[in-house]
Amino acid sequence: MRTGREQFGGRGAAILAMAGSAIGLGNIWRFPYMVGQTGGAAFIVIYLVSCLLLSMPIFLAEAIIGHRTHASTFGAMEKLAPGTKWKWLGLLTVLSPLVILSYYSVVGGWSIGYLWQSVTVGFHNGEIGTVSSAYGKFIASPWRPLLCHTLFLGACAGIVSAGVKSGIERFNKITMPLLFLLIVLIMTYSISLPGSRAGVDYLVKPDFSKITPSAVAAAMGQSFFSLSLGVGTILTYASYIKKQENILVTGMGTIGFDLLFAMIAGFAIMPAVFAAGIEPGAGPGLIFETLPYIFAKMGAGVPVISAIVAVLFFLTIVFAAVTSAISMYEVGVAYLVEQRGLSRRRATLLVFAGTWTLGALCSLSFGPLSEVKLFGLTIFSFCDMLTSNFLMTFGGLLFVLFVGWKMDKAAVRDEFTHGGTARFNCAVFDAFWFLLRYVAPVAIVIIFITNFVG
C-alpha cells in the first residue's frame, strides 16, 4: 500500500460521504414516482425489504473489499486475487462510473441552468406547454447546456483535486446537512399547499393489487440504483475509512440516510404535483418540465415565496448531483493516482478531459447529434442504458460472487464482525453469508433479466 494514503476523518465523515454518493436524482424524483405508480405504502414495504435483504449485502460486499485492502477498485482486486481474471472487474469498475459521470454531468448541468433561471428571471410562463417547450429548446440548443456541463464538471474537478479530506469530506460535511434542511423546507411548503392531500395519500395508501413480480423487481432495482451499487464507488469510499471503524455501522448509517431522504423527497414532491392538479409522470426530464410549471402556477398566489422555493429546489438538485458526481469522479482519480502513479492534479485533469468529451457528445445528442444512433439510441440514452441496465448490475453481481465465493471467509467475517468485537452472535453473520452467496446473486440476475426484457 502506498504510504500516506488519505482517509476520512471519522465515522460521521464516512457516512456523510457515502450518503452523498447515494442521495441524488434517484431519491428526488425516481423514488417518489415509483412509490406512487407501484402501490404506495405497499411498495415502500417491499423497498425496505429489498434494502435489507439485497442492497445491504451488496453494499457490504463492496465496502468489505475496499476496507480490507485500503485500495481502489483495480488495486483491491490485485491484492485479494493477484494475477487472476478478477482484475477485469477492477478495470470495469473504473470505467463504468466514468461513463455514468459523463451523462450525469449533463443533467447536473441542466440543474445549474435551471438554478440560474430561477435566480434571474424565474418561471413566469404558466402553461405546461410553454414550460415543456422551453425545456426542449434549452436542452437542444447546443451552447448553453454545454456551458452548464462544463461548469458542473469543473466544480466536481475542483472538489476532487483538493483531496479526499479537504475536498470530498469537507464538501459533503457542509452540503449534506444543508441538503436535508432544504428538502425539509420544501416538504413543509409542499404539504401546506391547498389540495396537497391527494399527493400524501398517493404515497401512503397501500394498494396491494399493484404488487406484481415486475413491481418487486422494480423495487429491487431502485434500491440498487439509489445506493450507487455495482460500479466501485462504495468500494473506493470504503477504502478511505479507517481500519478501526466499523463497516457494518457505516453501511447501516448510509442506508438509513438514503432511505430517509427518499421518503422526505416523496413528501416534498408529490403533494405539490397533486396540488397543481397534474398527473405524476416519470424520468429525470420531468423535474425540469413539471416542477417549473408548479412554481409558475403557485406563483399566482404568493409570487415571492414560490420564487424562493424554486431557487431552493434547484439548489437542492445541484448539491445532490454534485455529491454523487464527485464519488464517481474519485474512482477514476484513485485509479490513476494509485495504479498509474499520476499526481492527483494530473489525474483530475485527465478524468476531466475524458468525461467532458463523452459528456459533450451526450449533451449534443439532444440537438445537433440527435441523428447519431447506437443500437437505435441517442448517445445520451445509450450511455444511460448501458450503465443503468447492464454495467451496474453486472458489476454488482461480480462483487457479491467475489466476496461470497472467492474471498477468504475468515477475512469477510473479520470485517463484518469488526475483528470479532461486534456484540451479536454468529447467526447474524451466517444470515449475511447466506444472503451474499445465494439470495443476492439470484436477485441481481432477476433485475438483470427484467431490465433486458423491459
Residues that bind ligand TRP (CB under 6 A): 21-22, 24-27, 97, 100, 225-226, 228, 231, 233, 324, 327-328
Which CB, 100 or 238, lies closer to ligand TRP? 100
Smallest separation (angstroms) from ligand TRP to the CB of 400? 16
Task: Report the residue number, 100 or 139, with the smaller CB distance to ligand TRP.
Answer: 100
Measured from the CB atom, the residue of 231 and 275 that comes closer to ligand TRP is: 231
CB of 203 or CB of 262, closer to ligand TRP: 262
CB of 241 to ligand TRP, least distance (A): 17
Nearer to ligand TRP, 97 or 299 (CB): 97
Give the closest residue to 152 by CA, choosing from 361, 320, 288, 365: 320
Q: Which one, 199 or 332, has the nearer CB to ligand TRP? A: 332
The burial of 423, by beta-carbon neighbours within 10 Å (0-12 exposed, 13-18 middle, 19 or more buried), is given as exposed
3-state secondary structure the chain: CCCCCCCCCCHHHHHHHHHHHHCCHHHHHHHHHHHHHCCCHHHHHHHHHHHHHHHHHHHHHHHHHHHHHCCCHHHHHHHHCCCCCCHHHHHHHHHHHHHHHHHHHHHHHHHHHHHHHHHHCCCCCCCHHHHHHHHHHHHHCCHHHHHHHHHHHHHHHHHHHCCHHHHHHHHHHHHHHHHHHHHHHHHHHHHHCCCCHHHHHHHHCCCHHHCCHHHHHHHHHHHHHHCCCCCCHHHHHHCCCCCCCCHHHHHHHHHHHHHHHHHHHHHHHHHHHHHCCCCCCCCCHHHHHHHHHHHHHHHCCCHHHHHHHHHHHHHHHHHHHHHHHHHHHHHHHHHHHHHHCCCHHHHHHHHHHHHHHHHHHHHHCCCCCCCCCECCECHHHHHHHHHHHHHHHHHHHHHHHHHHHHCCHHHHHHHHCCCCCCCCCHHHHHHHHHHHHHHHHHHHHHHHHHHHHC
Cβ neighbors of 302 (< 8 A, separation 6 or more) are none
Q: Which is nearer to ligand TRP, 27 or 417 (CB)?
A: 27
Q: Which is nearer to ligand TRP, 283 or 341 (CB)?
A: 283
Of the pair 225, 366, the CB lying nearest ligand TRP is at 225
- Minimum distance, C-beta of residue 226 to ligand TRP, in the bound complex (Å): 4
Q: Compute the distance between CA of residue 448 and CA of residue 352 in angstroms, rounded to an integer.
A: 30
Q: 10 Å Cβ neighbour count for 85?
A: 8
Name the residue with cell 465496502.
63
Q: How far is the CB of 395 from ligand TRP (least distance, A)?
A: 10
The least CB distance from residue 329 to ligand TRP, in Å, is 9
Taking the complex as a whole, the smallest distance from the CB of residue 61 to ligand TRP amounts, in Å, to 15
**Shortest CB 127 distance to ligand TRP, Å:** 30
Distance of closest approach, residue 3 Cβ to ligand TRP, in angstroms: 28
What is the nearest approach in angstroms of ligand TRP to the Cβ of residue 175? 15
Query: Residue 357, exposed/middle/buried by CB under 10 A (0-12, 13-18, 19+)?
Result: exposed
Nearer to ligand TRP, 101 or 298 (CB): 101
Tell me whether residue 230 or residue 441 sits nearer to ligand TRP (CB atom).
Answer: 230
Minimal distance, residue 150 CB to ligand TRP, in Å: 20
